[in-house]
Chain A
Amino acid sequence: MMRFFRRAAPPPSEPDTSATEAAPASVEASLSSTRKGFFGAVRGLFQTQRSLDDGFWDELEERLIQADLGAHTTGDLIEELQSQHARLPFQDPKAAELALRAELLTLLKTTGDTGLFLPDVQDGIAIILVIGVNGVGKTTSIAKLTHYFQGGGRHPILIAGDTFRAAAIDQLKIWGDRTGVMVIAQAPGSDPASVVFDGIGAAVGRGADTVLIDTAGRLHTKINLMEELKKVRRVVERRHPGAPHETLLVLDAITGQNGLMQAKSFAHAVGVTGLILSKLDSSAKGGVVFAIAQELKLPIKFIGTGERLEDLSPFDPDEFLHALFT
């Protein structure tokens, strides 16, 4: 069974992150602004020679909340560190930092595998559904995924399932031109489920091995739009049993605590398999992913780190934390 669902091979241009100690320069560099932000401040806090008094814990709380981890996750983390400190006092702030990193890493690792689970190219078509609220960068993420898959030797075809937003189809087509892949689209305003149904058939007919489905952005609180998305998923399932192989939720790194509500609602409605954390090149920190990891156990699978096609990296928890803390 697992033979058919091996972790999708990373493109050859990417270094194998599990085997090398150095993180790819691009992730390191693009996270620099996130780093300089409040995670930088967290680090600064640990580099001081101060005692671990109430002031220290208060300040740590502030830094974590500023990084959008949320009051609850932050409270849990600090409580855990304090109880560790009570059992076996940390020598200095540096020791507390290591403990915090270990806790954060545990949070990220309890979510399961961050790789993609796609059928091998020779075993049939891989179908990926990309969803999220408005403006998080779904279409751009699809363009970057296309580039990523091409690097791995796949031949993607895109389906323009966002038939609602003005010019969304054109936006996807422009990316299709830039990456040299076909975009299957119908007229604006068409029923997205039928676009997807026909699109999968057409993609199979044209010999694609990978299909990326763009969907209209929708607020997770809009019942009718969530029903529409459920229908799209049902249609994918019916058109191609076993699909979608991945349902990726795109989350803007600037999102605050509402990110948790988004993840919850989308997961409940259509079964999210992983997150794409977009726009990490801004000074936003995306700390809500820790809350999402804690509560929903959803793995982050990719991070978006810029505006170019290459600016998408497979998520690696060690590397991510390394980049945030060094």
Chain B
Amino acid sequence: MFEALTDRMQGIFKDLRNRGRLGEPEVDAALKEVRLALLEADVNFRVARDFIKRVRERAIGVEVSESLTPAQQVLRIVNEELVETLGGEPGRIDWTGEMPAPVLLVGLNGQGKTTSAAKLALTLRKLGQRPLLIACDTFRPAAVLQLVTLGKQIACDVYEEGTAARPVDIAMRGLQWGRDHGHTVAIVDTAGRQQVDEALMAELVELKAMVKPNEVLLVASAMTGQEAVNVAQVFHDKLGLTGLILTQIDGDARGGAALSIRAVTGIPVKFLGVGEKVEPLTSFYPDRLASRILGMGDMLTLIEQTQDMYSQEEAISLQKKLVKGQFTFDDFLKQMQQIRKMGSLQSIIEMIPGLNQLMKRPEMAKALDEKQFKRVEAIILSMTLQERALPSLIDGSRRRRIAVGSGTKVQDVNQLLNQFRDMQSMMKQMSKGSVPKHLAKLMR
């Protein structure tokens, strides 16, 4: 829907290639686009304004270097400033004091506190801790049961007293229980609340006063809009937050809320929550979130998703095949299906910087069309296993049969066979360390 920021910026600087210094008119025009990108990413209006001001001061008058276009130069400053603002020590929990170290999870309804509690327990156990989960959400129906179930899934102790007792009492008795049973950290799940709800807020304040937590972590969804700053501010004022767990980062929200929260409260993002299953929280990297907020793709996350999909052995065996030029149609099919598992082509493309622009070329758009994808799949599935392994077998009559079987034309089959042959030879070349010329041009 939105043109990639880089595309738009390239346009602004079209006439100004590698000469002189960055002047005010160009910088302002460029920053207008940056501002729009920030707002579309749900960065708070005021935070965006202050941010733009800082970048402007840094950018104007900067000498345009030889190697970068002016657009790249401005974006680099934007990116640096973003990373700097977002920065902080990732994933560290304060361990000083008595065991078990209490960690309080707070946040609005539906941001993922209970799931994050279980994920945090799993994460901390990986770091050698003995976590205990304490169920203090006595408000939402079945919240206690949810935590108990999640605890069972990851084999982690859960202290609960149902919903009759006061959360403060449950927490205190839970801590004692944890002490008696040798737990090193106690994660306290609390009821979700609307910040306007004074009564529930008071309960949290009391909880904090009694429990004396090492950490008070705000759980907030990456999908949160402009209100994120106010939410964070209220929680911070009343409870003194020490960090943020940003959840639902595996969606396509750009996560500008994190920048807003960081800018307004100064608390660092400590973990990211990914996935609906109980898996460990992931560490936070400011540079990745920065390019995501700018809508400039999230290559590293894509790579990680790909890594998740492939087992190590699969990757190695594929690599061997590629090097030897033994890549078959079966491998090709598997690859295609793997890619499809990762998401729609569109969403994958959006994660790759620059590819968005490339996709505007009609021939690229055609090549990556979903329908085309299905057609190729149908053609391969209409081949015998032998044919898939040894495409040279496929003669005229086999081509006709494959075309009929896949509901395509012989020309389509021919085209795929040719493309496949090209690809094989290209891969052989690449594995020898040389990048084919036409590809190199594309990648620049």
Extra contacts, 16 of them, besides A221-B347, A252-B223, A282-B227 (Cβ < 8 A), are A65-B39, A66-B226, A71-B40, A135-B248, A137-B110, A166-B149, A167-B145, A167-B149, A171-B142, A188-B149, A221-B250, A222-B250, A224-B341, A256-B257, A257-B42, A287-B225
Distance in angstroms between the alpha carbons of A244 and B288 in the assembled complex: 41
- A134 near B248: Cβ-Cβ < 8 Å: yes
Mask for B30-67, Cβ within 8 A of A = 1, else 0?
Answer: 00000010011110111000000000000000000000
Distance in angstroms between the alpha carbons of A137 and B111 in the assembled complex: 10
- A65 near B224: Cβ-Cβ < 8 Å: no
In the complex, whether B221 has a CB less than 8 A from a CB of chain A is yes
Contact partners of A174 in chain B: CB under 8 A: 141-142
Contact partners of A133 in chain B: CB under 8 A: 223, 248, 251
Distance in angstroms between the alpha carbons of A269 and B223 in the assembled complex: 20
Q: List 11 A-B contacts (CB under 8 A).
A: A38-B226, A68-B227, A70-B39, A71-B40, A217-B276, A221-B251, A223-B343, A254-B108, A256-B228, A261-B253, A279-B110
Residues facing A in B238-267 (CB within 8 A) are 248, 250-254, 256-257
Which A-chain residue is minimally distant from B36 (CB atoms)? Answer: A71
Which A-chain residue is minimally distant from B260 (CB atoms)? Answer: A256
Contact partners of B254 in chain A: CB under 8 A: 257-258
Distance in angstroms between the alpha carbons of A136 and B248 in the assembled complex: 12
Q: Which 10 A-B pairs have the closest CB atoms?
A: A256-B225, A135-B110, A256-B42, A166-B149, A167-B146, A171-B142, A258-B253, A174-B141, A167-B145, A170-B142
Contact partners of A261 in chain B: CB under 8 A: 252-253
Distance in angstroms between the alpha carbons of A69 and B356 in the assembled complex: 26
- B223 near A258: Cβ-Cβ < 8 Å: yes
A285 to chain B, nearest CB (A): 7
Which B-chain residue is minimally distant from A136 (CB atoms)? Answer: B110
- B40 near A70: Cβ-Cβ < 8 Å: yes
Contact partners of B343 in chain A: CB under 8 A: 221-223
CB within 8 Å of A: which residues of B? 36, 39-42, 44-46, 108-112, 140-143, 145-150, 153, 194-196, 221-228, 230-231, 248, 250-254, 256-257, 276, 340-344, 347
Contact partners of B223 in chain A: CB under 8 A: 133, 252, 255-256, 258-259, 262
Contact partners of B341 in chain A: CB under 8 A: 223-224
Contact partners of A223 in chain B: CB under 8 A: 340-344
In the complex, whether A235 has a CB less than 8 A from a CB of chain B is no
CB within 8 Å of B: which residues of A? 33, 37-38, 62, 65-68, 70-72, 133-137, 164-168, 170-171, 173-175, 188, 217-225, 252, 254-259, 261-262, 279, 281-285, 287-288
A249 to chain B, nearest CB (A): 14
Quick one: which of B46, B110, B342 contacts A134, CB cutoff 8 A? B110
Distance in angstroms between the alpha carbons of A219 and B149 in the assembled complex: 22
Contact partners of B39 in chain A: CB under 8 A: 65, 70-71
Which A-chain residue is minimally distant from B113 (CB atoms)? Answer: A135
Q: Known contacts A134-B276, A135-B110, A175-B141; is A281 also within 8 Å of B194 by CB?
A: yes
- B251 near A220: Cβ-Cβ < 8 Å: yes
Contact partners of A255 in chain B: CB under 8 A: 223-225
Contact partners of A72 in chain B: CB under 8 A: 40
- A219 near B251: Cβ-Cβ < 8 Å: yes
Distance in angstroms between the alpha carbons of A224 and B343 in the assembled complex: 8
- A135 near B221: Cβ-Cβ < 8 Å: yes
- A219 near B250: Cβ-Cβ < 8 Å: yes
B283 to chain A, nearest CB (A): 20
Contact partners of B147 in chain A: CB under 8 A: 166
Number of interchain pairs (Cβ within 8 Å)? 154
Contact partners of B148 in chain A: CB under 8 A: 167
Distance in angstroms between the alpha carbons of A60 and B97 in the assembled complex: 50
Contact partners of A259 in chain B: CB under 8 A: 223, 225
B46 to chain A, nearest CB (A): 8
Q: Known contacts A221-B250, A282-B108; is A166 also within 8 Å of B146 by CB?
A: yes
Contact partners of B195 in chain A: CB under 8 A: 282-283
Which A-chain residue is minimally distant from B234 (CB atoms)? Answer: A283
Distance in angstroms between the alpha carbons of A219 and B347 in the assembled complex: 13
Distance in angstroms between the alpha carbons of A12 and B379 in the assembled complex: 61
Contact partners of B257 in chain A: CB under 8 A: 256
Contact partners of A137 in chain B: CB under 8 A: 109-110
- B40 near A257: Cβ-Cβ < 8 Å: yes
Contact partners of B225 in chain A: CB under 8 A: 68, 254-257, 259, 284-285, 287-288
Which A-chain residue is minimally distant from B256 (CB atoms)? Answer: A256
Distance in angstroms between the alpha carbons of A1 and B257 in the assembled complex: 47
Quick one: which of A62, A281, A285 contacts B227, CB cutoff 8 A? A285
Contact partners of A284 in chain B: CB under 8 A: 225, 227
Contact partners of B340 in chain A: CB under 8 A: 223
- B230 near A283: Cβ-Cβ < 8 Å: yes
Quick one: which of A66, A257, A285 contacts B41, CB cutoff 8 A? A257
- A33 near B250: Cβ-Cβ < 8 Å: no
Distance in angstroms between the alpha carbons of A252 and B111 in the assembled complex: 10
Task: From B109, B231, B256, B343, name the one whose CB has the most chain A CB atoms within 10 angstroms.
Answer: B109
Distance in angstroms between the alpha carbons of A134 and B277 in the assembled complex: 12
Distance in angstroms between the alpha carbons of A219 and B146 in the assembled complex: 20
Distance in angstroms between the alpha carbons of A8 and B441 in the assembled complex: 61
Distance in angstroms between the alpha carbons of A71 and B110 in the assembled complex: 26
- B194 near A219: Cβ-Cβ < 8 Å: no
Quick one: which of B145, B221, B224, B342 contacts A170, CB cutoff 8 A? B145
Distance in angstroms between the alpha carbons of A172 and B343 in the assembled complex: 31
Distance in angstroms between the alpha carbons of A256 and B255 in the assembled complex: 10
B119 to chain A, nearest CB (A): 12
Distance in angstroms between the alpha carbons of A221 and B302 in the assembled complex: 14
Distance in angstroms between the alpha carbons of A175 and B307 in the assembled complex: 42
Task: From B44, B224, B231, name the one whose CB has the most chain A CB atoms within 10 angstroms.
Answer: B224
Q: Known contacts A133-B251, A219-B250; is A33 also within 8 Å of B196 by CB?
A: yes
